[in-house]
Structure 1
């Protein structure tokens, strides 16, 4: 059974119909990549899953439970975390305070925190510093670290490499590989090289509709399909 299943999901924002009958299944384990050109509807899909936009009609099913209509907080309590494109950190709070806000009861599992330090050494280094003083890459690390401070079954991550230096992107890829051994990742990403290095399965959204689903290996091997759906040669 799929971990997450979207069936005929439609989402409208005001008068604009953004998603049209979006359907795909995310299997448990590894990284599932959601690809597409700018404005295709990728971020709206993640926000709809989290209940930040209300899809209607259609359904979002997680471990067999229909999440449609639930509040975002209730969806999060099911074991789903969301890392938005804007990272959503609190710049006036310290790194520690940002992390505390992501915990269930204000305390840390020290073993898990040590694991996060290993993934993102900057979290430990700047623990008592204001999050607003971090670099862009460090803020992205903090945003991901908050999402995994509690055990999760699924993490939705939106454009994590946007604007980051290549060395930071490489570090992020290594961290995601390790995280995906414990937690399924649904990744929205414009950097195709980053996505192809991590993804096991994938879907492409085009103009608010799913244009292709399949394995990442098959998609990487089909240059014509990549060109048609993502215009990679351009």
Structure 2
């Protein structure tokens, strides 16, 4: 059984149909990458899963249970976290306060906090600094740390490398590999080099539909398919 499945999901935004009967199977474990050109419907897919935009038709199942139609807070309590493209952190709060808000009971599990420090040492260094003062890469680290401060079965991450320096992208890749050992990641990413270095399975969305799915290794080996679906130069 898949950890997450979308079955003929349709999501409208206003009068426009953005997702057209999209079906997707995300297995448990590792990194599943959702690829596609700008405007294909990748972010809408993540927001539909998280309940931020409610599907008009179809079903979304998580661990076999239908979650489409639930409120976002209910979906989060079932073990799904979301790191949006805009990161969703609170600039006027400190690193510590941002993480406290993401905990269930307002206090940290010492082992999880130690793991966060190990993955993102800068967050320990800037623990008492307000989030607005962090660099773009450090803000992204904080956004991901908020997602793992409590145990999660699935993390949805939208464009985490956008605008980041290559050294930060490399550090983020290492952190994601570590996180994916215990938590499934559904990743939306335009940086194909980053995506193929992490992904085990993948799918391509075009005009709100899944037009290809399979292993990342197979897709990465097919330059013609990459060019046709993503416009990547061979």
Mapped to 2, the partners of 1:195 and 1:73 lie a distance apart of 29
Map of 1:12 onto structure 2: 12
Map of 2:208 onto structure 1: 208
1:124-144 C-alpha deviation (Å, 9 max, x unpaired): 010000001000000000000
Map of 1:194 onto structure 2: 194
Residue 158 (structure 2) pairs with residue 137 (structure 1): no
Mapped to 2, the partners of 1:176 and 1:227 lie a distance apart of 26
Which moved further from structure 2: 217-226 or 168-177? 217-226
Mapped to 1, the partners of 2:105 and 2:34 lie a distance apart of 32
Aligned length: 234
Corresponding residue SS for 2:181: coil
Map of 1:149 onto structure 2: 149
Map of 1:103 onto structure 2: 103
Q: Structure 2: 5+ residue runs without aligned partners?
A: none
Shift of 1:68: 1.2
Shift of 1:56: 1.6
Map of 1:72 onto structure 2: 72
Mapped to 1, the partners of 2:83 and 2:148 lie a distance apart of 10
Residue 170 (structure 2) pairs with residue 173 (structure 1): no
Q: When the two structures are superposed, what TM-score results if normalisation uses the length of structure 2?
A: 0.99
Map of 1:62 onto structure 2: 62
Corresponding residue SS for 2:57: coil
Mapped to 2, the partners of 1:207 and 1:6 lie a distance apart of 16
Across the aligned residues of Structure 1 and Structure 2, the Cα RMSD in angstroms comes to 0.7
Q: When the two structures are superposed, what TM-score results if normalisation uses the length of structure 1?
A: 0.99
Mapped to 2, the partners of 1:123 and 1:26 lie a distance apart of 31
